[in-house]
Amino acid sequence: MSWDFAITAQTLIHMVSHNALRCVKVALECKVPELNGMHANPNCINPYGYFPLHEAAERFSVDMIKLLFRHGASANVRTIGANIIEDLLPLHVAVENTCLHKYIEDNLYPIQNHQNYIYKLIHLLCLPEMKIFLDTTRLLATKTDNLVDELWKYMEDGKLIQSAVLLLAAQEQIRGECSSKINGNVKQDGFSILMHRIFRSSIALRWEKSQNGNSRKQLEEKRALVDCTALLIDIISQAGEFLSAYIQAHSEVPHVNVLDRVSSILEGFGFRTTRGSIDVNNLHPYDCKISGNELRRTGLVDTTKAITETANLHDAKGKTQRKNLPKGKGWDPTYMKINLVLSRYTRRMHPLLCLFLILKSLISLQVSLQARLQFQIINCHCWEELHN
């Protein structure tokens, strides 16, 4: 497929970051005469090494992700560059940001290697406030290749919370992901593949010998971690569909009722949970209230952005840390980079090299101004369409 793109990556990702669905749709469909046939590339990468889908995943905007998918966005793009943690999928961004939710941070850190910790983790993920995060992860998982392998990387690294989020959210895709055996006659679903890998890891650890006291302790911790991972896979493989159905059908239920019902579901499959292990009084939700003035001020921006931003989620592990811009300098971080380059190096460099840097900075600034102009055109068109 060939493309003729002219709308900059900065323009598109800026609109995605504000969850401006109408604007992004206009940019992707290219039906505005003022844009002269230009349209945005849904798989464009910005100078900081990530893609529009990474931005949408960080915002947990299901509608934006669906829009990008409809216009050809790939869920298999990975971050790249010196200013960012490389090789992260949009799926990773959603999973990592989910793990930074206040309920999880307040109740599950530090990580512990025992079965009650796993039961507690499952209960917290089934709370109504976690639904939007699981829905986002599930949507991204539907388009992500080699899902079982991505999940196994989390398990190998001992990341129980990330593993639980992905298992619970993407269990339908995991059940359907198969691997043929050598004879070609028998196939395994994703859960069987994971359990087989866990079994092999457990056997290897049982035969591994420790040389001193410290290594013996580390070995026991590894064995406990593998056992917890096996329990997690077992729970989701058996009770996952019932848990997911309950989450989807009960998005506004008191915490006490949710925890009791989740315990009943798990006990129905033979898992002995410890009821009352979570103090509902310690579940302090985010202040997700948004005023009418704020809704009017955001205009075309979808309310999901305001809600998720007030949730005060930290940047995902895969996103570069951006500094606040000087007042009045606009939204593009390129401006700060220009000032940094000019102020730090121009006094001590060769004049020709200095001139090269200045020209390069001016080109970057021109690109930034072009992005602003494109965004203004698209935004004005959306406002006119909205009021007509």
* Domain coordinates in residue numbering, the chain: 89-285
Strand partners, 187: 180
Work out the average pLDDT over 140-157. Answer: 96
Q: Which residues contact 164 (CB under 8 A, 6 or more apart)?
A: 118, 121, 122, 125, 232, 236
Range picked from 161-175, 183-197, 260-274 for highest mean pLDDT: 161-175
**Nearest residue to 106 (alpha-carbon basis) of 234, 270, 285:** 285
Q: How confident is the model at residue 303 (pLDDT cuts 50, 70, 90)?
A: very low
Determine the pLDDT at residue 294: 38
Q: How confident is the model at residue 186 (pLDDT cuts 50, 70, 90)?
A: low
Q: Six-digit token pair at 363?
A: 């080109």
Determine the pLDDT at residue 242: 96
Strand partners, 179: 188
**Phi, psi dihedral angles at 183 (to 5 degrees):** -75, -10
Determine the pLDDT at residue 271: 92
SS3 60: coil
Higher-confidence residue of 387 and 276: namely 276
Q: Is the pLDDT of residue 79 over 50?
A: yes
Write down the mean pLDDT value for the chain: 75
Report whether 150 contacts 78 (CB < 8 A): no
Higher-confidence residue of 262 and 5: namely 262
What DSSP string runs through 109-149?
Answer: -S---SHHHHHHHHHHHTSGGGHHHHHHHHHHHTT-SSHHH
Higher-confidence residue of 268 and 31: namely 268
